[in-house]
Amino acid sequence: MSTTAAAASPVTYLNEKTTVASWLLTKDHKRIGLMYMLTVTLAFVVGAVFAGLIRLELATPAGDLLSSDTYNRVFTAHGVAMVFFVLIPVVPAVLGNFVLPLMLGAKDVAFPKLNLLSWYVFILGMTVTFSAIVMGGVDTGWTFYPPFSTEGSDSNVMLAGVGIFITGFSSILTGLNFMVTIHRMRAPGLTWFRLPLFVWALYATSLIQVLGTPVVAITVLMVALERFAHLGFFDPRLGGDPVLFQHLFWFYSHPAVYIMILPPMGAISEVIACFSRKNIFGYSFVAFSSMAIAVFGFLVWAHHIFVAGISPYSAMVFSFLTYAVAVPSAVKTFNWTATLYRGAIWMRAPMIWVFGFLGLFLVGGLTGLFTASLGIDIHIHDTYFVVAHFHYIMVGGAIMGYFAGLHFWWPKMTGRMYNDTAAKTSAVLVFVGFNLTFFPQFILGYLGMPRRYHMYPPEFQVLNVMSTGGAAILAVGYLLPMIYLTYSFFKGEQAGSNPWMATGLEWTTQSPPLPHNFADQPVVTEGAYEYSKREMKVA
């Protein structure tokens, strides 16, 4: 096993064919995963540049760098790029595409052509949306609230809306594909309760993608119909209700947060079990908590609109349910911590990203409870407190989790190792930079600084400068992986098939895997995390 790859370079999915056409027409889930990785990274860079502009503007109290109108367009571009083109696809479409069939012992996903189509739909949606940004931008914020989006704004609302509508179908196709794959493509012996927790997380995510995304697509379409045909869904003068848009929008967009966070949570479970050399504590609870989050995540959306004029009764119901949905997230966090307890913790780079995730997700999750309580929400609604809260979840949680998973599976994806010290440094920089950027924003929000303004009273400057400084550190933390991972891809030392001595079918094939994953059909005879049965042989 340890000497796997014979010296004469073996056939892998990377070197089997190398023409451009062989990539653009590939049906290989692994190649599609890598193509998604490049695309998402591009969107991340775009979103990060806009984030940089925001932080530069906010370094001084005066609105001196960008005009008010430009600032509106900049934060909208940041939100749209990051939410729809980075956070939603980053783990399912990149890591999920790559490892799901490998974890199931399958040759590919259930519908390989559909998988490729989803990437092309994604590219089309991204092109349309980004062209709206290039051609002058959108000034509504990523939430597109009417009446501003339907009659106030004269920016490219419709073009961006159409782009997001198209992109939604890419998400639906991926979700559908994964659901069918998990139902139909499992290796012999791979029962539901032997599935890796990453697979459970992807299944729960797919459910949300398939059931939630059509609603936001229709909602965007309703904005279009109201803008052009004055159909009066949201305009009170035509018999509509602007709050209806917010209900429909958040019916998808709250669960969308779970599309962003559930797959990273799944990756965290894999990494924590491997680097603690232990079975995950309470496997079935962690598995079911993913499903619980997927279902109950659909029952909490109105916590975004407590102050928008919904009825007090409705607000109480949604507040209560929001508290309830914190329970499965807490179950996961406690179970991860319990997994660490008396484990043989192995401090390699993926594990450092996991520790970062745990800390940031904890803060993000608990501050969610602040915003879920009706009284406090009135004070902090639309302030920087909320901005800090959701960045802790979506960047601190989802992106940290993505990096944990990426560093874990990188040797499998490329067959090469990266510099462990560089990777740890990057994780520490991101953790420090992130906290410096966003913790001051909790205080700013509590003190009353509203979001989406480019000017603020001078007494808020110290905290804002801290935040901008933190963003600079964060940028370095994110640039580093691009450098050492690129280096690793071409020059890194050979990883062998299983450098972490991990359980899981994906580690039983060579790295990088064969074009069709496995030489022989794998058969599963035990649970996903039987680390106690493995000997730790550090090569």
Positions that interact with Cu ion (CB under 5 A) = 254
236 makes contact with another protein (CB under 8 A): yes
User: What is the nearest approach in angstroms of Cu ion to the Cβ of residue 254?
Assistant: 4
Query: Which token pair is 1?
Result: 């096993």
Question: In whole angstroms, how close is the CB of 83 to Cu ion at the nearest point?
Answer: 13
Instruction: Provide the terminal-to-terminal Cα distance of the chain, rounded to the nearest Å.
Output: 12
CA distances to 100, 109, 119, 155 from 35, in Å = 16, 16, 8, 31
Query: Looking at beta carbons only, is 153 or 335 nearer to another protein?
Result: 153
The verdict on 245 binding another protein (CB under 8 A) reads no
Q: Which long-range contacts (CB under 8 A, 24 or more apart) does 225-233 make?
A: 226/146, 226/150, 227/149, 227/150, 227/151, 227/157, 227/158
Task: Name the segment binding another protein (CB under 8 A); options: 21-29, 129-137, 311-319, 356-364.
Answer: 311-319
Considering only 66, 117, 158, 310, the residue that binds another protein (CB under 8 A) is 310
Among 3, 9, 191, 311, binds another protein (CB under 8 A): 311
**Are the C-beta atoms of residues 336 and 272 closer than 8 Å to each other?**
yes
**With b meaning 16 or more CB within 10 Å and e meaning fewer, what string describes 16-26?**
eeeeeeeeeeb
**Which of another protein, Cu ion, none binds 10 (CB below 5-8 Å, type-dependent)?**
none
Q: Which is nearer to Cu ion, 364 or 515 (CB)?
A: 364
Is 100:29 a contact under the CB 8 Å cutoff? yes
Candidates 188-196, 237-245, 357-365, 421-429: pick the segment binding another protein (CB under 8 A): 237-245
- Within residues 193-212, the interface with another protein by CB under 8 A covers 207, 211-212
* Per CB under 8 A, 3 contacts another protein: no
| Rg of the Cα atoms in the chain | 23
> What is the smallest separation between the CB atom of 261 and another protein, expressed in angstroms?
19
Closest residue by Cα to residue 402 from 271, 277, 207: 271
Closest CA to 40 of 403, 431, 453: 403
- Does residue 258 interact with another protein by CB under 8 A? no
How many residues are listed for the chain in this entry? Answer: 539
- Least CB distance to another protein at residue 237 (A): 6
- 366's contact among another protein, Cu ion, none, with CB below 5 to 8 A by partner kind, is none
**Could you tell me which of 422, 415, 400 has the C-alpha nearest to residue 509?**
415
Segment near another protein (CB under 8 A), from 121-129, 224-232, 299-307, 483-491? 299-307
Residue 65 or 243 with smaller CB distance to Cu ion: 243
Dihedral over alpha carbons 453, 458, 463, 465 (to 10 degrees): 80
**324 is an interface residue for another protein by CB under 8 A:** no
CA dihedral 88, 91, 97, 102 (to 10 degrees): -150
Question: Is residue 247 near another protein by the rule CB under 8 A?
Answer: yes
Q: Dihedral of CA 409/415/419/422: which sign?
A: negative
> Quick one: CA dihedral 258, 259, 260, 264, positive or negative?
positive
239 is an interface residue for another protein by CB under 8 A: no
517 has which bridge partners?
514
Q: Which is nearer to Cu ion, 160 or 260 (CB)?
A: 260
Residue 254 interaction partner, one of Cu ion, another protein, none, beta carbon < 5-8 Å per kind: Cu ion
Q: What is d(CA 415, CA 193) in angstroms, rounded to the nearest whole number?
A: 29
Among positions 251, 384, 385, 403, the unique one binding another protein when judged by CB under 8 A: 251
In the bound state with another protein, the residue whose beta carbon lies nearer, of 57 and 377, is 377
Interface residue list for another protein (CB under 8 A):
147, 151-152, 183, 207, 211-212, 215, 236-237, 243-244, 247-248, 251, 298-299, 301-302, 309-314, 317-318
